[in-house]
Chain A
Amino acid sequence: MSALLAQVVPFERPPIDWHAVAPELVLLGFGALLTTIDVVLLERGRKFTAPLAGVALLATMIPIITLAVDGADRTLFNGAYVVDNFALIMKAVFLLSGYVVVLLSTNYIAEGDYWENEYYGMLISSILGMVVMASARDLITIFVALELLSIPAYLMATWRKRDLKSNEAGLKYYLMGVFASAVMLYGMSLLYGESGTTILADIGPVLGAQADSSTITSLAIVFVVAGFAFKVSAVPFHTWAPDTYEGAPTPVTAFLAVASKAAGFVALVQLIFVGFWGRGDVYEPLMWVLAAASMTVGNLIALRQTNMVRLMAYSGIASAGYIMAPLAVAGVSADVADEALRAVVTYLVIYAAMNLGVFAVIMAVARKTRSAEITSYAGLFGYAPGLTIAMTVFLMSLAGIPPLGGWWAKFAVFKALASANTAWGWALAVVAAVNSVIALYYYLSVLRTMWADEAPDGDVAPIRVPAALVTALALTGIATLAFGVYPPLVNDVADVSLLGVGG
């Protein structure tokens, strides 16, 4: 025993840049405070939890802003944790969309008599996982961040405990989720075996040095990408999404559709631009197929949906296809890679604003109609003109109609595909263009129901929208419009760089 102890090298803590990890620490501190308040104040603490969760997310923005002002790229733990421009922008997206989800949840959770404190605790730990994911450049960190953001989300999807639909939503999400992350882990173990390291920046050169992709490398990349394709609900890993979105509480659906999907893309971008860089011969065809299938299948099935939330689920699957499309040409050259990275980030930022907006309107309307069926939106313009106009803005933006934010998102994707100037790139651009037209059809038919049809049963009592929802609508609406009419804002957002091999 003493001989064994003698071999042990005294542990020296690696130097930690506290400023770089300040956002995570602030969020963790607030999460702990939230739980402490619950334990100490019990029922009396209920009224503090929602505002405190909002404050937690906004307070975490402060260190992110100071890091952005400072501007230096920071690398911790031999490259396992990186704070660069890309990480900061994605962290801001997660926190702000988390804040909007808190606004959406405030009345829903309080009035439904659900467990409030635990709900916000889960939400904050899930967002903490996403914030970590944006900096994770190491297989172990990516895995831990993925589980930290997924495990609370499984529980949040099941939050309506007595409701069979909510049970089913959570169970399907959980089963598909653990299966996908287990397959992803198998891929990661092969990556580790192939390269002997878990740091993405060291894996990249090893994989890139192979003249021809070895079987193990190809298998590893396919497995890891499949794991994240589940997270972003890309076809053929999308089957959970419509059921989970419909059965889960609506604010949780908004959270899964925006923040959770963005987190999956963040991981995918980091893996492709750093870890798999140089193995374009493997990931490009994979991304091409996933993108084309997601766009086409998502849009075609969306055409025959009668429920607004399921429609949004399929529209989200199609959007996942658009966001993946630039990744299918990322490996052509360094310039194209830059363009692809910009397209992905621009799309994710604008998508977060407009999609959360749609869910805010869905929740406001459901307060009166208690339903998300598209028929229940009939005649909405007659008694809720404000909500109708908001929904029109958000849906037109999703369809990519010019002066709105979504137009720039789609434009960035086409620009990236065109800049590659390869046959495959152009082919994917054609698929995306055809799909944009299909998407326009089902968005317009929802709008026609709202503007032109008669209200069912002639019920035209106005909808009372609580203050938190109004704030959420205002924030997302302003963001959607601002990105559309003020292009410099898009340029600022898209001016990202990723510290690593490729980007």
Chain B
Amino acid sequence: MMLNQFLLLAAALFCIGVYGVLTRRNGVLVLMSVELILNAVNINLVAFGAFRDNVMGDVFAVFVIAVAAAEVGVGLALVLLMYRNRRSIDFTEVDALKG
């Protein structure tokens, strides 16, 4: 099996995701970048699972997908709350507390 290709794809997705989290200022785009990292994780897990012919990787990936859904649900609720109170989802404007 060609494990390397999958790992490279995952590493590329991971880097794009990290770059997105660090540079994007729009709430929804940051959440999407986090999802990219989680998808990189899933590709890694499934690829390693297939490579080692071991089912735990797939099981782990299913858990990651399920928990990520709950996490993003909460995240969207927080972004929505921010939009209601400020009419904006730009994180650069979040500065009521001195960082």
List A residues at the B interface (Cβ < 8 Å). 139-140, 143-144, 147, 151, 154-155, 158, 161-162, 164-165, 167-172, 174-175, 178-179, 181-183, 185-186, 188-190, 192-193, 196-198, 239, 242-243, 246-247
CB distance from A104 to the nearest CB of B (A): 22
Given A144-B63, A155-B74: A246 touches B48 (CB 8 Å cut-off): no
18 other A-B residue contacts (CB within 8 Å) besides A183-B37, A189-B10, A192-B45: A139-B60, A140-B59, A143-B60, A143-B63, A144-B63, A147-B67, A147-B71, A164-B85, A165-B96, A168-B94, A175-B21, A178-B31, A179-B37, A185-B37, A192-B57, A193-B52, A196-B54, A197-B56
| Cβ-based interface call for B2 (8 A) | no
Name the distance in Å between B97's Cβ and chain A's nearest Cβ.
4
Contact A182 B37, beta carbon cutoff 8 Å: yes
Query: Are A171 and B63 neighbours in the complex by a CB distance under 8 Å?
Result: no
Closest chain-A Cβ to B50's Cβ sits at a distance in Å of: 11
Q: Is the interface of B mostly helix, strand, loop or mixed?
A: helix
Over the window 1-28 of chain B, the binary record of Cβ atoms lying under 8 Å from chain A Cβ atoms (1 yes, 0 no) is 0000001001000100110010000010
Given contacts A178-B34, A178-B71, contact A192 B56 (CB under 8 A): yes
Is B99's CB under 8 angstroms from A243's CB? yes
* A168-B74 in contact given A144-B67, A178-B34 (Cβ < 8 Å): no
In the complex, are the beta carbons of B97 and A169 less than 8 A apart? yes
A448 and B99 CA atoms in complex are apart in Å by: 27
B25 to chain A, nearest CB (A): 11
Q: Are A147 and B99 in contact (CB under 8 A)?
A: no
What residue of chain B has the Cβ atom nearest to residue A138's Cβ? B56
Residues in B65-99 with C-beta less than 8 Å from chain A: 67, 70-71, 74-75, 77-79, 81-82, 85-86, 91, 94-99
Known: A158-B78, A189-B48, A239-B99. A140 touches B41 (CB 8 A): no
- Whole-angstrom distance between the alpha carbons of A167 and B88 in the complex? 13
Contact of B21 among A164, A179, A190, A246 (CB under 8 A): A179
Report the separation of the CA atoms of residues A261 and B17 in the bound assembly, to the nearest whole angstrom: 27
A186 touches B37 (CB 8 A): yes
| Chain A residues, CB < 8 A from B37 | 179, 182-183, 185-186
B34 engages A179 (CB within 8 Å):
yes
